Structure formats: structure tokens, C-alpha cells
Structure 1
Amino acid sequence: MLVIGNKRKVLLTIGVFFICFILLNLHFGKKIEEAPGWCDYVLYWQLGKNLFKEGHFSLYTLENPFRGTILPLIYGGMYYIGANVFASETIGYIVCSSLIYAILYAVIIPLFIKQMGLKSDIFIMGGILCLSLIFWYGIFLYPLSDVMAFLFVLIACCLLQKSQKNVGHKNLVYGIGIGVCLYCAYNIRSVYMFAAFCILISAAIQNIKNRKVFGVMLGNVCGIMIAAIPQIIINKALFGVWSIKNIASQSIIKLHLKTGFEVQRYETYVGEIGKEIGKQYPNYSVVFEDPIGIELLAREGIEAFDSIGEYFLFCLRNFFDVVGVFIRHLINALCPCYPELYIENVNRNRVLLILLNVVILYLGGYILVYALKYKSSFFIRVLKENFLNFMIILIPCMASIPGAIELRFFFPLHVLVYILVAVGIRSGEVRKSIISKWYLHCLCFALVLMPFWVIWGETFAKMRYVVALYSPWG
């Protein structure tokens, strides 16, 4: 068993996973250099480099106000290590990011599983890692925001559980750690503010019973303020206000809400067609249009939402049509069929990957149904005791549904499914139930596959090449 307290096994597992991520980067590494310079990851990396462009560290050299400060600080640190230790910023990124991802899969996720009352062994962790690499290997190749935000939220969840078991000054320390992680997750991806609220409310409720709420909440506030210092400095310098918010991100949110009605999903395309079509403005991507959403906007003459309130009123006036749009968004969010992330061949065969994905989703759904239908005391207890943990991970994903669907926004949702499947399959009673009624499961799988296949087929038929939804360079 992979026990968190066994340092030797943990270090060995980190080493094995670290090598896996190094090999992944070495195999696909050239794609980083080939991607267009306007992609998000280039922006994040360049912002990190800019912290040192005057020959020394300075926050005031951050040029783009649309992104928070935490991610550039992380990638700036990787750049500095690469430039000064390895004499190569690329090697610095590969080594540092591989170590972070190895710790995520070898330490943080097992600890998260353990604190849910489950056991995690090397086979479970290997299964979760393999599924992540099969469907999402591209997300580990580029300096993006999604895995980092997810990492901070998982650490906050683990610290929250730890805080319940300690008294005295340790609660203040855990509270500070929770606050730092929550603000970092929010600053990296603003949609994680919903997860932050859930964790803060949970920390207050759970610690009231133990009369430790003051220490934990004081720690939360202190942690948030400590982590927010770089953003406060930037806000004062650029906008003249003292604030912990990423002020300029609001325009991006409004843009995503509008494009959420126009497209069912959005992919970043870096192939030859886009290069030829977009010679004048090479910010090319692929969208899969939603005719109903486009018709809704045209019918009311909406070219942009001026405020969040206007958006909600629009949704209320067209409630059932909007629900249909969101359902199509959700179903598309369950189909990670472009694991490379930056796509060179949009039309390549995706059948096997889609089928495997539906198998994983079916198994995850069946394990939940099994726990509820057969009143499995073990699984029911896990679901009840960890309902809030699940919501903390799922709410940011659900909050992304109204916007333009980019599959990487839903990476945490799929990792949660992989955890559920890996842990469930290791259960003897679940395996026995599946094997004993395999023919019934084949029939149910076919019934589940059909509606997904129809909607996905309709989505892919609406593909077209367009100028990127948003150029991060302005």
C-alpha cells in the first residue's frame, strides 16, 4: 500500500512519476516550440520571464493586467531556475513542472483519497495517472493554469481535513495554509472563487463544533492577505486601487458568457489550415457552433452583455432554450478527445478515444449507482462524509459550463471520475457485480453511448475555423 507516512515509498513513487513526466515532455517537447506565439501558455511563460527582464526581480514589469500575478510568479521561478541552473529555460520548465506534477499524483491525490476514508495503493495511483495521460497529456506539456489551480484546491482540502484533528497553534498554521492555497487557486483561475467560498464555509461549520473556528478563520484571512500581496501591488500600480481582486479579468468573463451561446466547444488549433487562412491575423482556432444559441442572440439583438445582470435576465427570458444550450455544453465537457490540447489535425480518427472515455464515464456512474442502490455501507459513508469535498472540485467545473467550453477547464471533474473508477474497481464487490452481469452492462453501455454519440456527432459537424476568441496580447 502507498501510505503517506512511509517516506521511502512516497519518494520512490515521486521518482517514478517524475521520470514519467520527464519522458512525456522529452517525447512531445518540440511541440512547445512549434505552437503559435499567441497561445495562452506563451503568454503565461512570457509574463513569468518579464519579472526578470530588467536583470533583477520586479513585479512592476508585468505587462498584461488580464491575468493574475500568482501564475507568472510560479513560472517566473521556473524560468529563473532554468536560466541560472540549467542554462535553458525549457529544461527548467520541464524539470520543475515534472516534479510538481509528480508530487500531485504521488502525494496530494493519495492524501486526498486517504482523507476520504479510502485506501490508495500504487495500482490505483498508476491507473489515475495512466488515464490522465491518455486523455490529457497535452495539459502537462505547457505552462497553463488549470493543473496549478486544481493543485492548490486539493492542498486546501487536505489542510482543511488536517485542521479538524489538531488543537492549539497548529489550527492557525493550517488556516494560513488554507487561505494561501485558496487565494492562489482563485488568482490563477477566477472561477475557483466558488471553491474558495465552499472551503471557507466548511472550515467555519466544522470548527464551530470543536470551538476552533476563530483560530482557523483568522488563519484563513491572514493566508489570503499574504498570498494577495503581489496582486495588491499590481492593482495599486496599474489601477490606483487597493484590492485583492484581479480587476481586469471581468471583460474576459463577459466575453466567455457571450461566446458560450455561440459555440458548443472551443479548441486551440495550430495546424496548417489555420496558418494559411490566418496570414493577416494568425490567431486561429476551431469552434463547434451552436445554431440555437446563435439564433437566441440574434433574436434579441445582443452583440455583447454589458453586465452580469443583463446576462441573467437574458437566461430567464429564454430559460428552456438556455438549459438546452447548457446541457450540450456539459455533454461536450465529458468528451476529452483531443489529448494534445494544441490541435494539429482536427479531423483525425477519435473513435477509440471517445469509446474509452464513455467506458470510464459509465464505470464511474455505475459505481455511484451501485453504492446507492445496494446500500453499500462503505461507499455510502464515503459519499456522505465527502460530499463537500466533491462539491469543492465540481463547482468550478460547473461554473464554467455557461461560457465557451474549453475541455481543460474540466480536467478536475475527469480526475475525480478517474479516482472514483480506480478506487471502485479495486473493490471486490464492485468487480464481482460487473463481471456477473456483463451482458446487462454491455446493453446499458450501448444505451448510454447513443445519446452521447448523437450530440457529439452533431457538435463535430458544426466545426469551423475562426479567429481566436480572445487574443491575450490585446
Structure 2
Amino acid sequence: MLRDIHHMLRAHLASRYSAWTWFCITFLIFLTHLLTSRYHDFYYDSSGYWFLANTFDQKGASRFSFYNFNSALRGYLLPLLHYPAAVIVREWFPDAVSEAAKIMGALWAGAVFGVAAPALWEKASGKVVNNLRRLLFVGVGFVLWRDYFNFPLSDFPSVLAVVLALLVAHRARNYWSALAAGALVAAAVYIRPLSLLVTPFVLVLLLLGPSAQTDTAGSNVSWLKQAARLGLFALAFLLLAIPQYLINVNNYQSPNLLILGLGDGDFRVNDVDNVYLFKINEGLDKQRYETNIGTDYPIPQATFLDPAGRALLERNGNPLFDSYFKYFVFVVSHPADMTALYTRHFFNGLDVLYPGPYVSRIYGSTLSLSLVNYTVLFAAFLVILLRVQQLRLRHWLMVGGLFITCLASMPLMIETRYFLPLDLLLYAVACFGWPAEWRWTTVPKHHIVSVVLAYCFFVAICLTLSSNTQASLSLKPKTLQR
């Protein structure tokens, strides 16, 4: 009996359920956790997004209008996606705001972990991902990011749009694909403006043609068809840009298609109101940020300082950069120091210490979560090291599309959510890309010993770096255990 059950279980894990089945499985896993989690309120950015969803009709006081949207910092699209739920909750379930957000969060989780990311991997690799690997991928996402889905934030929706845009562009077979790719890139941009950097990668993928054979056999698509694809991509992008343009012109007298990124004076650098400039100045002497909602830390801003960055600024007269050119000159003038600073930021971007954006216990132990994270990262880096030569141009374009926003976030004071696209890529490499022939029973023992030693060394380095960062917590140092 037990043997039959074992064989049946192995058969199910080795098979492949449909995308719809995996969406439902992932949705239910996350929803069960979210509805029983400790979080029942919105904080800071998440509260702001839900508030903006109610501004389109001024909380029912007027008819729906884009002109009612009153933020020059945020894009219109994510609040618009929340708008139907906001109206339903406001009219019929006024005490279920948190539950509505959690249901939407579980939907985002099901789409990202259950469908989109595995589908992109399958199309890029040409290999089917079985149920065991999918379950492992969902499990990793659940362990490391589960509490993000309690809140109506922009990170996972924007990443979902980017992943789907890359998927559509990679498998493009007709003009509808160009329209869909343009709309998805625009969706990512109007949810998170930095996603504009993804555009060239999606466009090149789109123009490479509909199949992998195009790479070797040469493109037979005429220039006229290529121009038509570009035109349709631009048309779809512009259609989603129209509401943002109307909002900018009517409310802020700015004929701009993009999100203005103005913070009501909160992000000024020498009278220049620019969010990104403000944040790259912050990132020179502050390496990491967490948002505290608990009682074990006295203020909401849990800032991890960068003593080396602060010393660099002091040696140069504490400059304030009110233009990108000045910042660039400073970076070029201090290559070693800035390389070290960006390396610290890169590690912090991958170092997931808490499974949610709002931390109820800053001084709680992060060791167990860190060990899971470092194990997955080690597996991913091992696969990359030994299989990177198999990547082709189309693969590099997809990697670039996922990595580019992380690269642009590297100068900032890091929040781990900024590196979410790269995290998803590395989790996929570890869970989907681990070769089936790499088994303990078939690999020579001396290779196993080498891998184990390398793993121990990797984890030791990561724990050391993480410990150093946590010790720099501004008001009171933190350790791995507390």
C-alpha cells in the first residue's frame, strides 16, 4: 500500500498540471495564509494606494473621472486596478477592506508564482517544468515573500506586467503580440515608472521574430512588418498613456506622458523636485531600509547606515547632487569606493530578512529565513556558473529585461523589493534550471565534497555581510539572532 502511494505521488510530481490548476493551487496557498495573518491594517504606501483608488469618484461623491486622480508621485494604473474592489468594499462590505486587499494579493501571487514565471521559463528553455519543480518554486516564493500580499503595493503587479511582456515578446507570432507587449510594458511603467527601462529589451525580443529558429535561420520578416510591429507596440503604449497625460495636463499643467514623480516638496534636492535624485543622494550613506510597525524599535524608519559611504562623503566636503551629471562625475572619480558601495547595495537587495514590507519585530531572528534564501541563491549561482554558456541572445535579452530595474535601483538606499525581478529569476534558475542528472547518487563524491565546502563558504560570507549590515542599524545595532 505504501509503495503504491509512493509511486502515485512520484507520478503526480513528475507530471505537469495545467496553468489554471497551478494558479488555483498557488492562490489557495497564499490566501489561506493571508486570511489568517497578523496584518489587518494598511501602512504608509499601501494606505496611499488604497486611498488613491477611491479618488477616481471622490469616495462616491462624484462620477468617475481620471481628473479626480490627485497624485503627481504615483501612476494612475494600479489605483485604477484597485478601483472596482474599492467600490465594492465601500458600498457593500465597509469592514472588509483588508480582506479585499488580501484576496487581490493572493490573485497576484497566483499569477506570478503559479503561472507567469513558470511559463516564461518554459518558453525560454523549451523544457516542461514538472509539478515538483513548480511546487518548489511556489514554496520558495511563499517562504520569502508571503506577507507582501497583505497590502495593495505596486511591486508584484509591475513585475507581473514585465514578465508577461517578455513572455509575449518571446513567443510573438502575430500583430496582436505587438499590441499586447506594448500594453504590458505600459502597464508596468504606469505602475512603477522605473520599468520604462525594460522597453528596449522587449522591443528587440519582439523584432527578433516568432520562434527560436529565427536566431539561426535568419529573419524572413520584411522591414514593413517590423515597422508595423513597432507601430502597434507604440499604439498600445500610447493608449495606456492617455489617462496619465490627461491627468498631468489638467491637474499639474505638465504635458508629459510619464508619471511626474513629484512629491509635494518631500523629495527636493537644492530646490530640484526629483524622487530618483533624492534617493540616490540618500543611498550614499544609507545602505538599507525597512519599515517598522512594531514596538521594539522607536521609529518607523529602520535605516541601516553605511559608515564607509559616510566617510567618503565627509572626505569630499559632504556634496549634495542636484543633477545626474554631478553624481556621475562623483562616481567616476571614486571607482573603488563606489564599486564597494554598489556591491553592498547589491547584496542587500538579495538579502531577504523579512517576508513582508512592514516589520512587526525588527529585532526578531532573521537567521532561518536567511539560510533558506542563501541556499536558494547558492543553487542558482551554481547552475549559472556551470550552464551560462548555453544562453543565447534571446535569453540575455530576457535576463536584461528582468535585471535592468534592479541595476537602476542599486544606487538607492535599498529595499529588497527593488530586486524582486532578479529574485524571481534566481529562484526560477534554482528550482527549474537545476539539471535532473545532478543527483547525489550519480555525482562523484569529490564533486559533492567540493559543492558542500563551497556552500558552507558561500553561506558564511553571506552571514558575515548580513551581520555587518544589521549591526549598522541607526538607533540600536541588530544581530542575526535578535
> What's the TM-score once normalised by structure 2's chain length?
0.84
Match for 2:120 among 112, 118, 139?
A: 112
Q: Does the Cα contact within 8 Å between 2:34 and 2:147 map onto a contact in 1?
A: no
State the shift of 1:84 in Å. 4.8
Q: Does the Cα contact within 8 Å between 2:113 and 2:141 map onto a contact in 1?
A: no
Who is 1:221 aligned against? 234
For 1:435 and 1:256, locate their aligned partners in 2 and report how far apart those are by CA, in whole Å: 49
Who is 1:143 aligned against? 152
Who is 2:410 aligned against? 401
Structure showing the higher helix proportion among its residues = 1
What amino acid is the match of 2:196? M
Paired positions, count = 438
For 2:201 and 2:23, locate their aligned partners in 1 and report how far apart those are by CA, in whole Å: 30
Who is 2:345 aligned against? 329
Match for 1:257 among 257, 280, 290?
A: 280
Deviations 1:99-147 (A, max 9, x none): 2321333322222122111211222221111101111112222111110
For 1:159 and 1:181, locate their aligned partners in 2 and report how far apart those are by CA, in whole Å: 9
State the shift of 1:348 in Å. 1.5
State the shift of 1:357 in Å. 1.6
Deviations 1:16-67 (A, max 9, x none): 2221121121111x4141x54xx11111111112223224322222222111
Who is 2:84 aligned against? 77
Please say which of residues 349-358 and 296-305 is displaced more in the overlay.
Answer: 296-305
Who is 1:470 aligned against? none
Who is 2:213 aligned against? none
State the shift of 1:187 in Å. 2.0
State the shift of 1:203 in Å. 2.4
For 2:441 and 2:158, locate their aligned partners in 1 and report how far apart those are by CA, in whole Å: 37
Q: Does the Cα contact within 8 Å between 2:296 and 2:363 map onto a contact in 1?
A: no
Deviations 1:401-459 (A, max 9, x none): 11110001111211111111111336224666667433221211122223322222111
Who is 1:362 aligned against? 378
What amino acid is the match of 2:82? Y
Who is 1:129 aligned against? 138
Q: Does the Cα contact within 8 Å between 2:66 and 2:243 map onto a contact in 1?
A: yes
Match for 1:449 among 434, 437, 459?
A: 459
Deviations 1:265-308 (A, max 9, x none): 1111111145xx45xxxxx2101110121122233334632111
Is 1:204 the counterpart of 2:207? The answer is: yes
In structure 2, the CA distance between the partners of 1:433 and 1:309, relative to structure 1 (3 Å rule), is: farther
What amino acid is the match of 2:148? I
For 1:411 and 1:333, locate their aligned partners in 2 and report how far apart those are by CA, in whole Å: 8
Who is 2:313 aligned against? 297
Match for 1:162 among 146, 167, 171?
A: 171
What amino acid is the match of 1:210? V
For 1:96 and 1:81, locate their aligned partners in 2 and report how far apart those are by CA, in whole Å: 13
Who is 1:98 aligned against? 106
% identity of equivalent residues: 21
Match for 1:22 among 31, 39, 43?
A: 31
Is 1:271 the counterpart of 2:297? The answer is: no
Match for 2:472 among 439, 458, 462?
A: 462
In structure 2, the CA distance between the partners of 1:81 and 1:214, relative to structure 1 (3 Å rule), is: farther
In structure 2, the CA distance between the partners of 1:433 and 1:43, relative to structure 1 (3 Å rule), is: farther
State the shift of 1:241 in Å. 2.8
Who is 1:281 aligned against? none
What amino acid is the match of 1:297? L
For 1:365 and 1:110, locate their aligned partners in 2 and report how far apart those are by CA, in whole Å: 19
RMSD in angstroms over aligned alpha carbons? Answer: 2.4
Deviations 1:356-380 (A, max 9, x none): 22111111111122225xxxxxxx5
The 5 A counterparts of 1:46-57 are 46-52=51-57, 53=59, 54-57=61-64
What amino acid is the match of 1:299? R
In structure 2, the CA distance between the partners of 1:461 and 1:315, relative to structure 1 (3 Å rule), is: same
Give the secondary-structure state (helix, strand or coil) at the position aligned to 2:411. coil
Who is 2:303 aligned against? 287
Deviations 1:318-371 (A, max 9, x none): 221111100111111121011132112112122222222211111111112222
Who is 1:191 aligned against? 194
What amino acid is the match of 1:352? S
Q: Does the Cα contact within 8 Å between 1:135 and 1:338 map onto a contact in 2?
A: yes
In structure 2, the CA distance between the partners of 1:418 and 1:454, relative to structure 1 (3 Å rule), is: same
Q: Does the Cα contact within 8 Å between 1:254 and 1:308 map onto a contact in 2?
A: yes
Who is 2:45 aligned against? 40
> What's the TM-score once normalised by structure 1's chain length?
0.86
State the shift of 1:225 in Å. 0.4
Q: Does the Cα contact within 8 Å between 1:18 and 1:102 map onto a contact in 2?
A: yes
State the shift of 1:215 in Å. 2.1
In structure 2, the CA distance between the partners of 1:154 and 1:301, relative to structure 1 (3 Å rule), is: same
State the shift of 1:465 in Å. 4.5
Is 1:65 the counterpart of 2:76? The answer is: no
Q: Does the Cα contact within 8 Å between 2:101 and 2:150 map onto a contact in 1?
A: no
For structure 2, the 5+ residue unaligned runs are 1-10, 211-218, 263-272, 477-482
Give the secondary-structure state (helix, strand or coil) at the position aligned to 1:234. helix
